[in-house]
Amino acid sequence: MNALDILKERGLFGQCSDEPGLKKLFASEKVVFYIGFDVTAESLHIGHLVPIMAMANLQRAGHIPIVLLGGGTTLIGDPSGKSKERPLLSLEEIRKNGEKLLVQFKKFLSFERGKGMLLNNADWLSSVKYVDFLRDIGKHFRVNEMIKHEGYRLRLERKGGLSFLEFNYQLLQAYDFLTLLQKNNCQLQLGGDDQWGNILAGVSLVKKIKGKKVFAVTLPLVEAVGGRKMGKTEAGTIWLDSKRTLPYTFYQYWINTDDRDVIRFLKLFTFLGIAEIKELAKLKGRELKKAKQVLAFEMTKIIHGEKEAEKAETASKAAFTKEGGDFSELPTAFVSGKEISAGISILDLLMKAKAVSSRNEAFRLVSQGGIYVDKKRVANQNFVIKMDSFKNGALLLRKGKKQYYRVVIK
């Protein structure tokens, strides 16, 4: 299959600057392409998976990805989709973040023997001379066109406005594309739908300076049914780093996928063949749970390895069966024997288990009958848990229908 058809088949395609031209290019040579990633955190989260999976599928089709870490542009911050200016990081913070992100990219992409590259735009942006940049690059941009870009327009309408620092972001991203073409023969940039204006600016800059045609592709901004943003839950962001999000919690996120999303997510986020996914799509009703189990296992295996996926699957099955089983992989909180002997309120225990973000949330959940201790509903906010509630030094908390937590006496 043509690489462009693969992206479409898996739902990893939004807009293209020249679809017939790009399809022809994919058919004729190994295409070097890139996606830029800000280096604002020590870990990626599952909201990053759409661009990463697009890169992985194109690499598997024989093309060459460049993961471009925004060591330089992160110093400024992309205003697209942001209601206010981002906090600025130091060069040292950005460097440390980049080292940790590389480990996660390697779970999806190969950087060996010219199959892929990891670059940092700080390598060229940090040496740019401002006056030279304005003369050589800035002259190709028109302010009246730039402010039509949705990211700029929305910020200009807000009280805080748009800083001149951020206004430069589009120029720098376009300059990245030009630099990657010159240094690495990169002919394609991919990014989220909200990056369309920035990517086209790069396409235009390359055309004006080098007289060469390059291409732009955007990827859909994926939301779960109901408009829920990918990776965002009541409990917070779902990170790829196991220290921030436990493998079990990661597994549970995927197994709790809405029935209407599961087949779409199998196409987007796993490497399963389309034929196998089509077979899973035949499942209906309660049988669709099998497809969710496949999704959760495959995602956890990619990020945390097969052993951790098996542990998470075992713990999940144990939590949802009457027989019980090995709960050791559940999110676990430790309490002292002294605390339990004195008695600990259900609200405090929920806070210790990090099952809630505040006592108000704990109070509300108990009042609504959404909290269970060892499968028995607790409806009294003043309920006190003592030693006799523990079996073999542990008890099981349940929040709602599907979220389990383990509390152990240390």
**Residues involved in catalysis:** 40, 45, 48, 82, 86, 173, 194, 229, 232-233
- A 10 A CB-CB count for 210 gives 12
Place of tokens 């079990």: 248
Residue 75: closest CA among 86, 60, 64, 59: 86
Q: Which are the contacts of 295, defined by CB distance < 8 A and separation ≥ 6?
A: 254, 255, 257, 262, 265, 266, 269, 270
DSSP 391: B
| Joined tokens for residue 10 | 């898996």
Residue 115 burial by Cβ neighbours in a 10 Å radius (0-12, 13-18, 19+):
middle
| Joined tokens for residue 298 | 């495959």
| Joined tokens for residue 179 | 């630099």
- Say if residues 45 and 238 touch (Cβ distance below 8 Å): yes
Report the DSSP pairing between strands 32-37 and 64-69: parallel
| Joined tokens for residue 360 | 């108000």
Element (H, E) at 118: strand 117-120
